[in-house]
Amino acid sequence: MSKFLKVLIAVSFIASPVMAGSLGLGRAATPDEVAAWNTDIRPDGMGLPVGSGSVADGEEIFAEKCAACHGDFGEAVGRWPVLAGGHGSLSDARPVKTVGSYWPYLSTVYDYVYRAMPFGNAASLTADETYAIVAYIMYVNDTVDDESFVLSNKNFLDIPQENVDGFFMDDRDKVEYPKFSQVACMTDCKATVEITKRAAVVDVTPEETAAAAAEAKMKVATAEAAEPEATPALDAELVAAGKKVFKKCKSCHKVGEGAKNGVGPQLNGILGRAAASQDGFKYSKAMKAEADAGLVWDEAKLRTFLKKPKAMIKKTKMSFNGLKKDKQIDGIIEYLKSVSQ
């Protein structure tokens, strides 16, 4: 007999006092039995267990128990949910809804992780492990920016979520229902009809599409013409080190022979390439704006971006939080040189 079936049978013989009195079935649940099921966490913090966890501890636990599905930085693997990024995108045509950009309450994160994660071993995390994981999710979403930050039941409500004011009570009975319950107009409902918007989202307006394509080709040609006179020799040790660090990136970016665009653009030839110019990839508005301003990925710009992407381009849709060590950045750049030559 399965564990679930045993629990179901056991619960069926435990009833509330009202049921026990009116139906003559079961008995009143004991406080311990109620406590075992009463594990939900509310937005006001009710139900939070005593405990704490740091960003640093959360990074290790996340890598072990969560990264296989959600990526090392919450960027997601395959079609599993993205947990980080998407800041300021909710008004876009294709919003990126993550813990950082969309979820209004941190309590929902704790509640879900504590009861339902990790996948295949739900409810196996301790209270402290859950606090640590939630702290790390806050960190990769830039809700906190200190690796030494410790989340606990005492400071849990001190840091509000970005979209805390984005939800409101359902008012359709007062707004939509009166509007759409009127008698529908069937003839001569509008005096004139005119086009008020253009299909900019899917880039099908002919003159706009042609102009954008010509501008992108011009940027690529300019970048290709600015090749260095001599290509310096690569540092083999740095290339090898960078290849290891690139494991953090390969769930989104591809390099080497046959590399194609994925969650992010393929990175062959990125050094010296104009921003937002990789064919076939749909860049964010923020990245396109940088491209319009003349951004070209030289070593200095790439180093700044890899250190803290959102500090350089605030609304980039890349969820990667950045490399903390200069040696890692040196390695990544040298590795990208190696696949670009």
> 175 and 223: one domain?
no
Out of 149, 172, 194, pick the residue that ends a domain: 194
- pLDDT (mean) for 308-328: 81
The pLDDT value given to residue 143: 92
Q: Residue 133: pLDDT above 90?
A: yes
Q: pTM of the full predicted structure?
A: 0.54
> 186 and 222: one domain?
no
Please give the Cα distance from 80 to 319 (Å, whole number). Answer: 14
Residue 199 lies in a domain: no
> 110 and 155: one domain?
yes
Q: Lowest mean pLDDT: which of 19-33, 51-65, 175-189, 271-285?
A: 19-33
Please give the Cα distance from 284 to 311 (Å, whole number). Answer: 16
Q: Report the candidate in 277, 279, 246, 243 with the shortest Cα–Cα distance to residue 261.
A: 279
Query: From the CB of residue 279, how many other CB atoms can be counted at a distance below 10 Å?
Result: 11
> 251 and 214: one domain?
yes
Q: Residue 15: pLDDT above 70?
A: no
Q: Are residues 132 and 66 in contact, defined by beta-carbon separation less than 8 angstroms? A: no
Strand partners, 52: 152
Please give the Cα distance from 117 to 112 (Å, whole number). Answer: 7
Q: Residue 224: pLDDT above 80?
A: no
Residue 44 lies in a domain: no
> 212 and 148: one domain?
no
Q: Report the candidate in 103, 62, 63, 84 with the shortest Cα–Cα distance to residue 316.
A: 84
Q: Name the 3-class secondary structure at 49.
A: coil
> 188 and 320: one domain?
no
> 283 and 336: one domain?
yes
Pick 318 or 270 by higher pLDDT: 270
Strand partners, 151: 53
> 190 and 285: one domain?
no
* Residue range of the domain that includes 188: 50-194
Q: What percent of the chain has pLDDT over 90?
A: 35
Out of 152, 168, 194, pick the residue that ends a domain: 194
CATH of the domain at 70: 1.10.760.10
Q: For residue 255, what pLDDT band results from cuts at 50, 70 and 90?
A: confident
Residue 19 lies in a domain: yes
Can you spell out the DSSP letters for 57-124?
HHHHHHHHHTHHHH-TTS--STTSPP-S--TT-TTSSS----TTTT---HHHHHHHHHHH-STTSTT-
> 303 and 236: one domain?
yes
Pick 315 or 75 by higher pLDDT: 75
- In terms of phi and psi (left: phi > 0; alpha: psi -120 to 50; beta: otherwise), the region of 65 is alpha
Strand partners, 274: 296
Q: Report the candidate in 198, 219, 216, 220 with the shortest Cα–Cα distance to residue 207.
A: 198
> 9 and 101: one domain?
no
**Domains held by the chain: number:** 3
Residue 326 lies in a domain: yes
> 291 and 317: one domain?
yes
Residue 45 lies in a domain: no
Residue 126 lies in a domain: yes
Residue 201 lies in a domain: no
> 294 and 188: one domain?
no
Q: Are residues 53 and 131 in contact, defined by beta-carbon separation less than 8 angstroms? A: yes
Residue 6 lies in a domain: yes
Q: Residue 13: pLDDT above 50?
A: no
